[in-house]
Amino acid sequence: MSLDLEEPRAVVCTANGGGASADDFLLAIKACYSPEDRILVVVTPGAVEVKSRYDRIKQLTSLQLGVATQFVRGATLGAGNRKLETITPAILVQMVCKLGGAPWGVEDTSDLCEGDFLAEATSSALLRYRFFNRRLPTSVVIYRDDVGVPLEKLLRVEYAAMEAAIRGVYSSEEVNRESAPLPVIVFMTVAKRISTKLFVRDEDEDRFCPPLSPATIDRISGSESSQPSRMDLQSGDDNPAMMMIPQVKNPPSGTVLTMNAERFDQFYLVSQKSTVTAACPIRVRVLRNSGSKRNGTLAATGLSAEETAAEEEDLLSLATLQSVSYKLCYLYYNSTSICRQPAPGMYAHKVANFVGEHLETEGAEELHERLFYL
């Protein structure tokens, strides 16, 4: 990551009497702003941001001026702040993103098309991709937040709109001259609020205890509800009369559990390492995958796991989607640590919250291709 900055123009916002109001900040910004400015750093007094002031400044810069802004609280820059050395790089990362840069990356990438205006947004995203890369993508992977909408409705309404838009772009006369093949289209849902927990065997912590009496074993085995599921009646090496109780621990970061579902492919992903509480996986369902012979459809295939694996000599296999999903958890630039879900979902939540809470309307077109909402 690199960021070349010229000497900034420092403007002091003054006010008569008490602290500077939102109007004082707006007047100062209007007075000093130049169309050549790429980003404005606004330092506000105190340790707590005033929402009304924040909203008005963001509305001016994001809607009228079309320039990115970076807010910094005055208390953050105080000489007594011991965390200044760790906070400053985080601020610079946000500024890089808002200027259109990428602080870090991974080998695999993904295109995200999301929103209520699905067809228009999808077409626009593809054309902008073509403008910057001089070609259209060979695959389009769509992550959709799983909020309880029936899967059939998602496919009938949202996926159908995006697929039609993609086919429309690739079948246009200009694209046909480039002989661009139709891309692989993958449509997946991501569920975060699930009760499923994953554990792995911790052989180093296995414990041995005296075995249950025959009478106790007979009593337990006579009741299915009380039958022990974690007790493995094996003999210990040191004492053949001892009973081993296997111990479990949280799975490491990057653990994937694939579920054999007839209607669609799905898997659980543990992206974060947890040492205090139980690890919380996410559930990813592959509802459509045009690059798979299975096609991720909702219709039952009748194939076993082995037959499915043999059939899937795919352009985008399930293993590839699992790897891409995990690597995308590292690409949320508002945090230097790994996130629980793939970055496209994090960005979607962030921009929706920013526009809904602060702008209350769509931002300036000049900022659409940047992460100005971080």
Task: For residue range 317-372, list pLDDT tens digits in order.
Answer: 889 999 999 999 999 988 888 889 999 999 988 988 888 888 878 778 888 888 88
pLDDT tens digits along 274-298: 877 888 899 999 999 987 765 544 3
With a cut of 90, say whether residue 34 has pLDDT above it: no
pLDDT reading at 311 higher than 80: no
291 in Cβ contact with 315 (< 8 Å)? yes
pLDDT of residue 363: 77
CA distance 127 to 166: 10
* Dist. CA 13–CA 11, nearest whole Å: 6
pLDDT at 211 over 80: no
**Length of the chain, please?**
374
CB distance 232 to 251 below 8 Å: no
**Pairing verdict, β 39-44 and 68-73:** parallel
Place of tokens 């008490």: 18
**Mean pLDDT of the region 214-237:** 55
Residue with tokens 């910094």, as numbered in its chain: 72
Q: Are 194 and 278 in contact (CB under 8 A)?
A: no
Instruction: Provide the b/e sequence for 255-287 (b: ≥16 CB within 10 Å).
Output: bbeeeeeeebbbbbbbbbeeeeeebbbbbbbbb
Helix (H) or strand (E) holding 119: helix 118-133
For residues 123-143, b (16+ Cβ closer than 10 Å) or e, as one string? bebbeebbeeeeebbebbbbb
What are residue 4's phi and psi, to 5 degrees? -95, 120
Burial class for 305, CB neighbours closer than 10 Å (0-12, 13-18, 19+): exposed
% the chain with pLDDT above 70: 75
> 198, 281 in Cβ contact below 8 A?
yes
Q: Enumerate domains of the chain plus CATH numbers.
A: 1-105+342-374 (no CATH), 118-197+252-329 (3.30.420.10), 200-249 (no CATH)
**Helical spans, DSSP H, in 222-303:** none
pLDDT at 294: 57
